[in-house]
């Protein structure tokens, strides 16, 4: 798996990240399916340890990854596809203000069957101030801006 992630990263098709919280592994986030040319997009997948879930760790990690993709890598669009019944993952993107674009029927083969997924997306125009800045303003209303 690590060899595959490295090869895809070196080819410019994937950005694998480890999510660290207070010095320990708390999750993983991957920007994959990176496409260049007229599309300039990618999609994000993630998981977080149940012990840190609900503490803002994954929304912060997603916001950091999106900002990196938009500002440094040069992508224009990021998608996140989530199974409809996965409430915690849906809350991550909803907290960040991703727009729900619809249902992709039988999108991925998981647990022996083709599963539907909801697609959420953002483009650079949606977050000119950066997603991390927007997340901080939403999660801490009234906090002074840097």
99 has a pLDDT exceeding 60: yes
pLDDT for 143 equals: 53
pLDDT for 141 equals: 64
**Domain coordinates in residue numbering, the chain:** 2-139
pLDDT tens, position by position, 27-76: 999 999 999 999 999 999 999 999 999 999 999 999 999 999 999 999 99
Please state which of the ranges 1-5, 64-68, 73-77, 116-120 shows the lowest mean pLDDT. Answer: 1-5
146 has a pLDDT exceeding 80: no
Domain 2-139: which CATH number of 3.40.630.30, 3.40.50.2000, 2.40.160.20, 3.40.50.150: 3.40.630.30
CA–CA distance, 26 with 58 (Å, rounded to integer) = 9
State the helix-helix crossing angle for 131-139 and 57-68, rounded to 10 degrees.
150
pLDDT for 3 equals: 87
């Amino acid at each position: 798996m690590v060899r595959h992630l490295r090869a895809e990263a070196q080819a410019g098709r994937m950005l694998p990240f480890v999510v660290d919280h207070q010095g320990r592994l708390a999750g993983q986030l991957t920007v994959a399916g990176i496409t260049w040319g007229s599309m300039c997009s990618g999609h994000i997948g993630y998981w977080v340890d149940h012990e840190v879930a609900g503490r803002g760790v994954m929304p912060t990690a997603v916001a950091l990854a999106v900002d990196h993709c938009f500002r440094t890598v040069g992508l224009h669009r990021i998608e996140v596809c989530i199974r409809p019944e996965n409430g915690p993952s849906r809350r991550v993107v909803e907290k960040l203000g991703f727009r729900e674009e619809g249902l992709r029927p039988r999108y991925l083969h998981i647990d022996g069957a083709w599963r539907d997924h909801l697609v959420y997306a953002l483009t650079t125009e949606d977050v000119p101030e950066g997603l991390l800045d927007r997340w901080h303003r939403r999660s801490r209303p009234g906090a002074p801006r840097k």
